[in-house]
C-alpha cells in the first residue's frame, strides 16, 4: 500500500514561482534586477537598524574594584543601553509616593550581564563578601575616576527614584537610586537583599552566611531573624558591613523582590533582530530564485 502526500501551501507557491520562471524567459532579467534591489534594500535596512541602534545607545565604561578598592584591581564593564530600552522607563512614575514603594523600583532588566561580569571578575574562589564588595564598588561614586557611577542629586525638588537601567544610563543617582541599583544587582546574583530607610537616607543590606572580615567597624542588622550586613552605596570606600548612620536613625526595612533568574531582555535585541531577520529572509529568497534560474537554464 502506498500513500501520497499533497504538497504544502508554501511548496505550491514555490512551484508556481518556478513555473513562471520557466515560462517567462524574457522577464528573468527584470526579475533578477528586482531581486538584487530587494536584497540590497534588505541589507541596507538591516545595516541601518544596527547603526541607528548603536548611534542612539548610551554607552559608558563603568569602573569597579574587585579587591577592596585596591587600585591594581580596577576593572570596567562596558555598559550600553539603547533608546528603546531607556524609553520604556521614561513614561513611568519616578515618585515613590509611599516609603513602602521604594523596593518597587528594583528591576533586573539588563542587569544579568553586569552582575555576571562583576562576579566573574572576582575570580572563581571569591567569597560572598568579596563579590558583594565588588558590586558595592561598582555603584559607589569614585571621585578620581570619570568612568564610573557618581552621586547625583534628583532632577527636581520632589523625591525621584531612577530605575536601575536609568541610573546606569544617567551615570549615577542619589542614595535611593544607587541603593535600588545595588539591591537589584545583588538579587540578580542570588543574594537576599533589603533596603534600609532613615528620615533622609537610604542604603542596602545583604544577608550573608559568614560575617565580613575586611572591616573593623561591623554593624550587623537583624531582620526577621536573619543577619544582614549594611552596604553604603553612596560615597567612596565604604566596606560591606559598615554603616554611615547611627542605628537610632533607622526607620524600617523593605524587602527586595527575588530576581535571581537570568532575564532575556527582548527590547535590547529588537532592532538588531529585525535587521537580522530581514537579511535572512532576503538571502533565502535570493537562493530560491537562483535555484529556479538554474532549473530554467537546464530546461532551456
Ligand atoms: Ca532620589
3-state secondary structure the chain: CCCCCCCCHHHHHHHHHHHHHHHCHHHHHHHHHHHHHHHHHHHHHHHHHHHHHHHCCEEEEEEEECCCCCHHHEEEEEEEECHHHHHHHHCCCCCCCCHHHHHHHCCCCCCHHHHHHHHHHCCCCCCHHHHHHHHHHHHCCCCCCCCCCEECCCCCCCCCCCCHHHHHHHCEECHHHHHHHHHHHHHHCCCCEEEEECCCCEEEEEECCCCCCCCCCCCCEEECCEEEEEECCCCCCCCCCCCCCCHHHCCEEEECCCCCCCCCCCHHHHHHHHHHHHHHHHHHHHHHHHHHHHHHHHHC
CA 162 to ligand 1 center in whole angstroms: 7
**What spacing in Å lies between the alpha carbon of 182 and ligand 1's midpoint?**
14
Residue range 66-265 forms a domain whose CATH class is alpha beta
The rounded Å distance from CA 175 to ligand 1 centre is: 6
Cell numbers for 223: 531582620
User: Which set of grid coordinates corresponds to residue 274?
Assistant: 529585525
Q: Specify the residue for cell string 591594581.
A: 72
Structure confidence by residue, pLDDT tens digits, 24-48: 877 878 888 888 888 888 888 888 8
Question: Mind listing the pLDDT tens digit for each residue in 54-79?
Answer: 888 899 999 999 987 677 899 999 99
Centre of ligand 1 to C-alpha 79, Å, is 22
Q: How far is the CA of 146 from the centre of ligand 1 (A)?
A: 22
pLDDT at 268: 65
- For residue 130, report the distance from its CA to the centre of ligand 1, in Å: 27
Report yes or no: 223 and 205 within 8 Å, Cβ to Cβ. Answer: yes
pLDDT < 70 stretches in the chain: 1-5, 69, 261-268, 293-300
> How much distance in Å is there from the Cα of 159 to the middle of ligand 1?
5
According to the model, what pLDDT value does residue 90 have?
Answer: 85
Task: Please name every residue paired with 173 in a beta bridge, in sequence order, or none if there are none.
Answer: 151
- Separation of 200 CA from ligand 1 center, angstroms? 10
| Torsion angle of the four alpha carbons 199, 201, 202, 205, in this order, in degrees rounded to the nearest 10 | -90
The Cα–Cα gap between 175 and 187 comes to 18
Cα-to-centroid distance, 152 and ligand 1 (Å): 9
Separation of CA 169 and ligand 1 centre (Å): 15
**Is residue 95 a contact partner of residue 160, using CB atoms and an 8 Å limit?**
yes
**Pair 89, 166: CB distance under 8 Å:** yes
Output the pTM of the full model.
0.76
pLDDT for position 267: 62
Parse the chain into domains and list their residue ranges. 9-54+268-299, 66-265
Instruction: Determine the distance separating the centroid of ligand 1 and the alpha carbon of 173, expressed in angstroms.
Output: 7
Residues 88 and 79: their CA atoms lie apart, in Å, by 18
202 Cα: distance to centroid of ligand 1 (angstroms): 9
Residues in the chain: 300
Amino acid at each position: 500500500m502506498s500513500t501520497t502526500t499533497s504538497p504544502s501551501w508554501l511548496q505550491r507557491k514555490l512551484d508556481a514561482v518556478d513555473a513562471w520562471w520557466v515560462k517567462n524567459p524574457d522577464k528573468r532579467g527584470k526579475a533578477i534586477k528586482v531581486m538584487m534591489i530587494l536584497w540590497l534594500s534588505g541589507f541596507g535596512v538591516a545595516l541601518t537598524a544596527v547603526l541607528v541602534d548603536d548611534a542612539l545607545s548610551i554607552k559608558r565604561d563603568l569602573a569597579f574594584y574587585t579587591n577592596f578598592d585596591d587600585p591594581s584591581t580596577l576593572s570596567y564593564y562596558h555598559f550600553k543601553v539603547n533608546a528603546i530600552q531607556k524609553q520604556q522607563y521614561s513614561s513611568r512614575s519616578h515618585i515613590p509616593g509611599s516609603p513602602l514603594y521604594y523596593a518597587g523600583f528594583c528591576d533586573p532588566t539588563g542587569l544579568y550581564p553586569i552582575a555576571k561580569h562583576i562576579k566573574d571578575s572576582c575570580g572563581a574562589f571569591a567569597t560572598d563578601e568579596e563579590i558583594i564588595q565588588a558590586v558595592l564598588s561598582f555603584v559607589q561614586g569614585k571621585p578620581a575616576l570619570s568612568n564610573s557611577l557618581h552621586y547625583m542629586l534628583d532632577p527636581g525638588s520632589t523625591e525621584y527614584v531612577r530605575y536601575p537601567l536609568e541610573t546606569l544610563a544617567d551615570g549615577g543617582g542619589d542614595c535611593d537610586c544607587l541603593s535600588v541599583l545595588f539591591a537589584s544587582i545583588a538579587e540578580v546574583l542570588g543574594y537576599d537583599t533589603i533596603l534600609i530607610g532613615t528620615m533622609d537616607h537610604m542604603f542596602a543590606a545583604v544577608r550573608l552566611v559568614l560575617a565580613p572580615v575586611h572591616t573593623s567597624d561591623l554593624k550587623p542588622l537583624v531582620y526577621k531573624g536573619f543577619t544582614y550586613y549594611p552596604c553604603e552605596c553612596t560615597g567612596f570606600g565604604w566596606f560591606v558591613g559598615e554603616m554611615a548612620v547611627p542605628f537610632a536613625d533607622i526607620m524600617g526595612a523593605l524587602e527586595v523582590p527575588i530576581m535571581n533568574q537570568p532575564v532575556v531582555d527582548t527590547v535590547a535585541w529588537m532592532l538588531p533582530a529585525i535587521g537580522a531577520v530581514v537579511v535572512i529572509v532576503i538571502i533565502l529568497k535570493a537562493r530560491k530564485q537562483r535555484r529556479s534560474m538554474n532549473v530554467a537554464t537546464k530546461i532551456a
